[in-house]
Amino acid sequence: MTKDLICIECPRSCVLRVCVESCRVVRVSGEKCPKGKDYAVSEVENPRRIFTSTVSSRGLVLKMIPVRTDKPIPKDRVLEAAEEIRKIKLDRPVKVGEVITANLLGLGVNLIATRDCV
Amino acid sequence: MSERQLVVIGGGPAGMGAAISAYEAGVKDILLIERDQYLGGILNQCIHTGFGLSYFKKNLTGPEYAHRFIEKIQAIDNIEVSLKSFAVKLTKEKELIFIKPGELKEIKAKALIMATGARERTREMIHIPGDRPSGIFSAGLAQKLINIEGLLPGEEVVIVGSGDIGLIMARRFILEGAKVKAVIEIQKQSRGLARNVVQCLEDFNIPFYLSHKVARIYGKKRVEKVDVVEVDEDLKAIPGSDFSLACDTILISAGLISENELLEAAGIEAGNISIPGLFVCGNAYKIYDLADSVSRDALLAGKQAAEYLKGLG
């Protein structure tokens, strides 16, 4: 089976022609950089996304602290992650890159702050 | 009236980039004014990734992208940052009046860089008939309410226009537990990047109506519903193609326009500046798709300002 995917790795948005056999990518064309092939394989076999959102704070100067996962998480767990982090009330200062929740949802990724906040 | 070598108006990606670049090109007295209480501009509310891919070769969120510039600025003593500072008047002689809490300041700049960014198109600019209830937001305002203020503007959302901020906000509303009924785009293709159509709409099965427009907004106090209609090649409504969508919130994502009120009020044409030592960069100059491109533009503006000041001796 052949299908077209739009690569989301960068704003160029390359159209990738992906040849899939028994749920495995066997051939990719149309990519303008090496990220395209990796994306196509991941998107077909195990689609993942960097999850970004905010967590609320208590007693800090910012009401909301922007966060993201330090690695992509399975696409079908993104809504669960959004639900999970709603429980967080951050009450300690953080620096960009600092871990807020380790091993989010047991996925082996950390939730990190993307902005300094005192 | 005090005199400064270089004044930069705006502390977003354009202003920060321009100030750093001017410093690196030899300017030793720089004042950067920003109306918000933080540097970073609109980057602070753009919590999604996709920034820095070309400029830093890294996939960063908006705040992380801003952070790289903020750290650099804080390390440069020659750049004075004035926050909560709102420019109210500019003259052709590069005299600037700005206010900050408890103060009104008048400054004469030898060189001046406008990095005032952009505004969003409003409902009025895209002419949607109907009632005028509450619940109609520009996409960027909704972004600020959610990501900075922690407030959810509504629960059932229709997005008008497919600009990148609207697409990003479609996903953002879903992650916050709201429903996104549809994104309605009058043109035949998305106004925003294809990658955003994929990761913001398709990932969450949000209906995307191309060649459609919102024909009417209904609502007494709060938005209640919209009428949507398909349009032909000439963007005219196709009779019989209309349908209604119940919603309590409408986002307008119909593009940006350069913010140049200060220049206009000074009688200076933003697109054709002929005043020596006055520069415009970033979205104030033209609307860029990417912050990375704004940073490149700002780099150039900073260099040019430095060259101009060198020429003055």
Domain spans in chain A, listed from the N-terminal domain onward:
2-46, 52-113
Q: Strand locations in chain B, DSSP E?
A: 2-9, 30-33, 49-51, 60-61, 79-82, 86-90, 95-100, 103-114, 118-120, 136-138, 156-160, 179-184, 208-209, 212-218, 225-230, 243-246, 249-252, 256-258, 278-280
Q: How far apart are CA B273 and CA B263, in angstroms?
A: 9
Alpha carbon B241 to chain centroid distance?
34
Residue B75, domain CATH: 3.50.50.60
What are the pLDDT digits (tens) for A78-112? 999 999 999 999 999 999 999 999 999 999 999 99
CB distance A6–B195 less than 8 Å? yes
Q: What are phi and psi of B45, to 5 degrees?
A: -95, -5
B60 lies in the same domain as B168 = no
Give the pLDDT confidence score for residue B259 in this predicted structure.
Answer: 95
- Mean pLDDT within A16-21: 92
CB distance B47–A53 less than 8 Å? yes
Please provide the average confidence, as pLDDT, over all residues in chain B: 96
Name the residue among B116, B99, B102, B112 with its Cα closest to residue B13: B116
Q: How far apart are CA B259 and CA B255, in angstroms?
A: 13
CB distance B198–A11 less than 8 Å? no
% of chain B at pLDDT higher than 70: 100
% of chain A at pLDDT higher than 70: 100
**Whether the predicted pLDDT of B274 surpasses 90:** no
% of chain B at pLDDT higher than 90: 96
What are the pLDDT digits (tens) for B146-166? 999 999 999 999 999 999 999
B149 lies in the same domain as B248 = yes
What are the pLDDT digits (tens) for B168-181? 999 999 999 999 99
* Structural contact between residues B143 and B167, judged by C-beta atoms closer than 8 angstroms: no
Q: N- to C-terminal Cα distance for chain A?
A: 53
B73 lies in the same domain as B173 = no
Tokens 């009401």, located at residue: A63
Predicted complex: ipTM over 0.90: yes
**Per-residue confidence band for A10, with pLDDT thresholds at 50, 70 and 90:** confident
Give the pLDDT confidence score for residue B272 in this predicted structure.
Answer: 79
Q: Which residues on chain B are in Cβ contact (under 8 Å) with A13? A: 193-195
* Structural contact between residues B31 and B107, judged by C-beta atoms closer than 8 angstroms: yes
Across the interface, of A13, A56, A82, the residue whose CB is closest to B150 is: A56
Q: How far apart are CA B183 and CA B189, in angstroms?
A: 12
Helix extents (H) in chain A? 34-45, 78-85
Q: Which residues on chain A are in Cβ contact (under 8 Å) with B67? A: 96, 114-116
- Mean pLDDT within B236-246: 97
Q: Is B83 on the interface with A (CB under 8 A)?
A: no
Q: Which residues on chain B are in Cβ contact (under 8 Å) with A49? A: 199, 203
B134 lies in the same domain as B109 = no
Domain boundary among B206, B226, B252: B252
Tell me the shortest Cα–Cα distance from B46 to chain A, in angstroms.
9
Domain boundary among B233, B252, B271: B252
- Mean pLDDT within B283-300: 96
Total count of domains within chain B: 2
CB distance A50–B149 less than 8 Å? no
Across the interface, of B62, B149, B198, the residue whose CB is closest to A63 is: B149
DSSP string, A79-108: HHHHHHHTT-EE-S-B-TT-EEESSGGGSS
Q: Which residues on chain B are in Cβ contact (under 8 Å) with A8? A: 195, 198-199
**Whether the predicted pLDDT of A76 surpasses 90:** yes
Q: What are phi and psi of A63, to 5 degrees?
A: -70, -40
Domain boundary among B201, B229, B252: B252
What are the pLDDT digits (tens) for B196-206? 999 999 999 99
Q: N- to C-terminal Cα distance for chain B?
A: 21
B positions 209-238 inside 8 Å of A (CB): none
Give the pLDDT confidence score for residue A69 in this predicted structure.
Answer: 98
The boundaries of the domain holding residue B97 are 2-117+259-312
**Whether the predicted pLDDT of B313 surpasses 80:** no
Residues pairing with A116 in the sheet: none
Give the pLDDT confidence score for residue B99 in this predicted structure.
Answer: 98
B113 lies in the same domain as B125 = no
What are the pLDDT digits (tens) for B69-90? 999 999 999 999 999 999 999 9
Tokens 């967590």, located at residue: A55
3-state DSSP assignment of residue B148:
coil
Q: How far apart are CA B78 and CA B6, in angstroms?
A: 11
**Whether the predicted pLDDT of B21 surpasses 80:** yes
**Whether the predicted pLDDT of B273 surpasses 90:** no
**Whether the predicted pLDDT of B270 surpasses 90:** no
B20 lies in the same domain as B42 = yes
**Per-residue confidence band for A11, with pLDDT thresholds at 50, 70 and 90:** confident
The tokens describing B215, both together, are: 């024909």
Please provide the average confidence, as pLDDT, over all residues in chain A: 94
* Domain A52-113 CATH (choose: 3.90.700.10, 3.30.413.10, 3.40.50.12780, 3.10.530.10): 3.10.530.10
